[in-house]
Each structure stands twice: as structure tokens, then as C-alpha cells.
């Protein structure tokens, strides 16, 4: 075998899959394959082109350069062996342990993966410039990783479904992801340095144990400490935080912090009655992320340049989101499988996809929010019994609103403002005379607003076209003589003279100024 991208490899899920008779007459790029089964107390010769150790004990592999194979060094069902000073490049996996335990990997220069392997020691390894993982642990437990460097990989150090591992004095830099713990439990991190990764640090999973780790403030992201609190209450996170994770905690305050370049800027998992305010979360994968967390308040935060600005997921119920800004994300604010939340006075603008999205979420209340210049302003999918009114949906590219379910887009008197609404307002009450059909299903806003809610209309602009014309003068005169009943807000717009009533004087003033813009009140 020669000049292949990956010359030779063996894989499988049981011992028999690795049981083959392969002797050194087989060559990869002119060097022999050492494929040993049921061996012990031996050292692999220095001329190896591939090393595979199966069901073996106390084997030493050292001072080799191994290239262009699926695995540089393969250990399957092997224990008490030592792999050191291996330079493995241009392999799919540099060193790969499968169902192997109590081995030592030291001072190697290559990527390392442990799969279903336990009680191994990895120290002083340089796992850099790999296409995918620097160091990966999958379904592996009780391993110790010390003084390793993982840089310029897609993921520096990545754990999946792995528990009770210890990480000390490791460095992960210039990767896409620094250290990520996914669906893993009870890992301990101390004195690890994460810097200049696109997303330095993150934890995720689907049960409480997946968020249960021992991570203290000796761990740094871009020079700032990680605050990862479990089972805490009645505390405030320090303002020097580089990452904030709150797990199974109550009444925690996080405020006035800038959090960037992490999987999550702020993570709440199984946390309640806490307050997140005045956080600037930018360039994260998830700016502010709530998972299984309820009765929290998110107020006056800014989430930008992330995949999700603010995301409530998995039965994160009864939360209040108020006065937050989510801009230039892929999704601005998203609720998935979450109910009875209140979203008020938020601004979701210039996001690539949806400004505000509800996915399989019910009984939420959305009021006074602005969604502008997104692909879709407010998007509801498979969601029901949500109430939306006084929202401003402005200049969104595909749809200002989209709803595949059954939701209430107005109260008994008022709905939302849609910049693409083309109906008229003949009675000048500020409510369109015809309903607005929400694309995607059968939902209808029966009382669409003629003007953005909360915006003070142009004085004298009674037909809502943002211009002062003779039509406005005619409407003012009709109001003055009692032929056009209207609401107090419209009366205020018509009272150009400011004398507290609408008269022919106001109509005359509007007519005189129909070619100029009057000042806003």
C-alpha cells in the first residue's frame, strides 16, 4: 500500500472485529505494519508504518513517525501500555484508543481520540493542526488529562457522553471550539487556559447530570474566569466573568458583564427565579441560553453576532424577557418547547433568519416588540394559544409574520403593525378597516395598526402615509364638524394648533403646510 491518503486501518465494535492475522510482510509506504494480538511486555520496533495493538498488555510504542493511515496508532482492548513521542500526521486519527484502559499517552505530537476507554493518562501531548478534534473523549470515563496543548483544530478538547474525567493545566487555543462538554457528567476542570478560540467554552446536554461538573474560576477564557455554579442561591456573579453557567440554582443575579466567544455567553440550566440584566453577549454561538429554566427575568440585555441571540429551550417556562435587543444573529429570540413566557418591549432586528421565533411553544404573550429587517419578523411554527399585539413588524424580507398554528394576533380592540399592510383607515381610528392575513396558516389579525405602536405619528398626518397633504386637511375638517369620530390619539395628531381641540383652524394649518413636514410632537 503506497501513496494513498489513508493506507491501512481497522475498526469495529467488538473484539472479534479487531482479530486478524496481519504480519510485517504488509507494507505501508514501504514500512511494515505491526499488528499485534494477545501480546505482552514488548516494544514496537522503530521502523513501523502502522501500529495496531489488540487485547495486549504492557506494550511500549515510542519515537515513531506515522503518516497517512486511518489511525497512526490503534489500541483496541489493550491495557497498561505506553505511547510516547509519536509524531502522527496526515492520519484520520493520530492515536486511537478503543475499549482500552490504564494506558499512558505522553509527549505525542498528534490528535488523540479515546472511545469507550477508561483510566488512561494523557500528559504533555501536543494535539494541534488536526482537521477535526485535537483531543476527543467519547463514552470514556475516569481519564486524566494534564498539560496537554490543543490548538488550530476544529475542536480543541471535546467530550461526548463521558464522565468522571479530570482536566488540569491544559491549553486550548485558536480552535473553532476550545473545550466543549456535551452530554457528559461529573468532569473536573482546573487551571485550564482557553484563548482565541471562536467559541472558547461550552456545556450542553439533555438532563441535569449533563450539566453537573466541577469547574472553578482557575479556568480562564481569554484571561477571564469561568463562573460555573451548581446548587447555589442568593448570589451575584462577579463582573469579571468570561463565561457564566448557572445549574440547578435559585435567585442568582448576573448583570453588567460583557461575554464573548463562547458556546453560550450565559447558560442557565435547571435554574429559576434568577435575573439576567444589562449583559452584552456577542460573537457566541448562543448569546443567552435557558434550558429547563423557569421564572427568570432577562432585561435590558444585548445579544448580537451569534447564531441564537436569546434562546429559551426545553420547558423553560414563565420567564420574562423585557427590553432586550437581539440583532445581527442568525435567530434573534427563539422559544422552543417553552410556554407561558412574556416577551415585551424587545427589539429583534437585522437577523439573518427570524427576528422572533416560537417553535412548539404555547401560551406565550408577545407585546410591544419590534422585529425589523429580518428574513421573517415573527415566525410561529407548530405553536398554539400564543397572544400577540402591539408588536411592530417592519420591512422584513420574506414575511413580517408567519404562523402555521392557531394563535391570537389581536385583542378585542387592537392588533399589530405590519409595514406591508395596504388597508385603509376611513374612520381615522388608527385601526385598519380590513384584517391582515398571517401567511402560513389560518391566523388573522382583525385589528391591524395603521402606525407603528409606540411611535408618535407626524403631527397632522391623519391618513398615516407619513406625509402632510390636502387629504389630511380634509380629515381634520371632518373631525372638526363632527363627521369623523376618532380615538384620543388621532385627536392629538389633528390638534396642530395645540389649543386642546380640533377646529377649522387646524384644518387650515394643515392645508397651509401640506408641502412641508410638520414637527413631531
How is 433-472 classified by DSSP, letter by letter? SS-EEPTTSS-EESS-BSS-TT--PBTT--SSSSS--HHH
Shortest CA distance to 75 belongs to which of 46, 45, 44? 44
Taking only the tens place, the pLDDT of each residue in 420-432 is 999 998 877 889 9
Q: Are the C-beta atoms of 363 and 386 separated by less than 8 Å?
A: yes
Q: Are the C-beta atoms of 203 and 186 separated by less than 8 Å?
A: no
pLDDT at 489: 66
Calculated CA dihedral for residues 210, 216, 221, 222, nearest 10 degrees: 180
> Within 10 A of 156 (CB to CB), how many other CB atoms are there?
33
Average of per-residue pLDDT values in the chain:
94
H helix or E strand, kind and range, residue 506: helix 504-512
**Cell numbers of 39, please?**
501480546
Integer CA distances (angstroms), 403 to 316, 357, 366, 450, in order: 21, 10, 14, 21
Minimum mean pLDDT range among 33-37, 119-123, 457-461:
457-461
pLDDT at 166: 99
Q: Please state, in angstroms and rounded to a whole number, the distance separating the CA atoms of residues 217 and 224.
A: 9
Residues β-bridged to residue 23 = none
Q: Please state, in angstroms and rounded to a whole number, the distance separating the CA atoms of residues 518 and 46.
A: 88
Q: Are the C-beta atoms of 122 and 96 separated by less than 8 Å?
A: no
Beta strands across the sheet bearing 82-89: 40-43, 57-67, 82-89, 104-106, 121-123, 144-146, 166-168, 188-190, 214-215
SS3 216: coil
Q: Are the C-beta atoms of 91 and 5 separated by less than 8 Å?
A: no
pLDDT at 518: 42
User: Does residue 25 register a pLDDT over 80?
Assistant: yes
Q: Where are the alpha helices (DSSP H) in 45-161?
A: none
Q: Please state, in angstroms and rounded to a whole number, the distance separating the CA atoms of residues 33 and 48.
A: 6
Q: Which class would CATH give 458-521?
A: mainly alpha
- pLDDT category at 7 given cuts 50, 70, 90 is confident
Q: Are the C-beta atoms of 432 and 421 separated by less than 8 Å?
A: yes
pLDDT at 466: 66
Taking only the tens place, the pLDDT of each residue in 153-187 is 999 999 999 999 999 999 999 999 999 999 999 99
Taking only the tens place, the pLDDT of each residue in 320-371 is 999 999 999 999 999 999 999 999 999 999 999 999 999 999 999 999 999 9
Taking only the tens place, the pLDDT of each residue in 92-151 is 889 999 999 999 999 999 999 999 999 999 999 999 988 899 999 999 999 999 999 999
User: Does residue 521 register a pLDDT over 50?
Assistant: no
Amino acid at each position: 500500500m503506497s501513496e494513498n491518503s489513508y493506507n491501512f486501518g481497522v475498526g469495529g465494535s467488538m473484539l472479534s472485529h479487531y482479530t486478524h492475522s496481519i504480519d510485517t510482510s504488509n507494507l505501508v509506504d514501504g514500512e511494515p505494519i505491526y499488528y499485534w494480538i494477545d501480546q505482552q511486555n514488548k516494544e514496537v520496533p522503530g521502523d513501523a508504518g502502522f501500529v495496531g495493538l489488540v487485547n495486549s498488555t504492557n506494550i511500549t510504542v515510542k519515537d515513531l513517525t506515522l503518516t497517512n493511515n486511518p489511525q497512526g496508532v490503534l489500541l483496541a482492548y489493550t491495557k497498561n501500555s505506553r505511547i510516547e513521542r509519536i509524531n502522527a500526521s496526515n492520519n484520520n486519527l493520530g492515536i486511537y484508543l478503543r475499549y482500552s484502559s490504564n494506558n499512558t499517552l505522553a509527549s505525542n505530537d498528534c490528535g488523540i481520540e479515546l472511545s469507550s476507554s477508561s483510566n488512561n493518562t494523557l500528559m504533555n501531548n501536543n494535539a494541534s493542526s488536526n482537521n477535526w478534534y485535537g483531543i476527543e473523549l467519547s463514552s470514556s470515563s475516569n481519564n486524566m488529562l494534564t498539560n496537554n496543548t490543543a490548538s488550530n483544530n476544529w475542536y480543541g478538547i471535546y467530550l461526548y457522553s463521558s464522565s468522571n474525567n479530570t482536566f488540569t493545566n491544559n491549553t486550548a487555543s485558536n480552535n473553532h471550539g476550545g473545550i466543549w462538554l456535551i452530554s457528559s457528567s461529573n468532569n473536573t476542570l482546573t487551571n485550564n487556559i482557553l484563548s482565541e478560540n471562536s467559541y472558547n467554552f461550552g456545556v450542553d446536554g439533555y438532563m441535569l447530570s449533563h450539566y453537573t461538573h466541577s469547574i472553578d474560576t482557575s479556568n480562564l477564557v481569554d484571561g477571564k474566569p469561568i463562573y460555573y455554579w451548581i446548587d447555589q442561591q442568593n448570589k451575584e456573579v462577579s463582573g469579571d466573568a468570561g463565561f457564566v453557567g448557572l445549574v440547578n440554582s435559585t435567585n442568582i443575579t448576573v448583570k453588567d458583564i460583557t461575554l464573548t466567544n463562547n458556546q453560550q455567553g450565559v447558560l442557565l440550566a435547571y435554574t429559576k427565579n434568577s435575573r439576567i440584566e444589562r449583559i452584552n453577549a456577542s460573537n457566541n454561538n448562543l448569546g443567552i441560553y435557558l434550558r429547563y429554566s423557569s421564572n427568570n427575568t432577562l432585561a435590558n440585555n444585548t445579544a448580537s453576532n451569534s447564531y441564537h441571540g436569546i434562546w429559551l429551550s426545553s420547558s423553560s417556562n414563565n420567564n420574562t424577557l423585557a427590553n432586550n435587543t437581539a440583532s445581527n444573529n442568525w435567530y434573534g429570540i427563539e422559544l422552543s418547547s417553552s410556554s407561558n413566557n412574556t416577551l415585551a418591549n424587545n427589539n429583534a432586528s437585522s437577523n439573518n433568519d427570524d427576528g422572533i421565533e416560537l417553535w412548539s411553544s404555547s401560551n406565550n404573550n408577545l407585546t410591544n416588540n419590534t422585529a425589523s429587517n429580518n428574513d421573517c419578523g415573527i415566525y410561529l411554527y407548530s405553536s398554539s394559544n400564543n397572544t400577540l399585539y402591539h408588536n411592530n413588524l417592519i420591512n422584513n424580507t420574506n414575511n413580517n409574520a408567519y404562523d402555521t398554528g392557531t394563535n391570537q394576533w389581536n385583542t378585542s380592540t387592537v392588533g399589530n403593525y405590519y409595514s406591508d399592510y395596504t388597508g385603509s383607515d376611513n374612520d381615522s381610528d388608527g385601526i385598519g378597516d380590513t384584517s391582515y392575513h398571517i401567511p402560513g396558516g389560518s391566523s388573522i389579525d382583525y385589528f391591524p395598526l395603521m402606525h407603528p405602536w409606540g411611535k408618535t405619528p407626524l403631527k397632522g398626518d391623519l391618513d398615516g402615509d407619513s406625509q402632510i397633504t390636502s387629504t389630511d386637511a380634509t380629515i381634520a375638517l371632518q373631525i372638526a364638524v363632527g363627521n369623523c369620530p376618532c380615538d384620543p390619539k388621532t385627536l392629538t395628531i389633528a390638534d396642530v394648533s395645540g389649543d386642546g381641540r380640533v377646529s377649522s383652524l387646524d384644518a387650515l394649518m394643515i392645508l397651509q403646510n401640506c408641502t412641508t413636514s410638520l414637527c413631531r410632537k
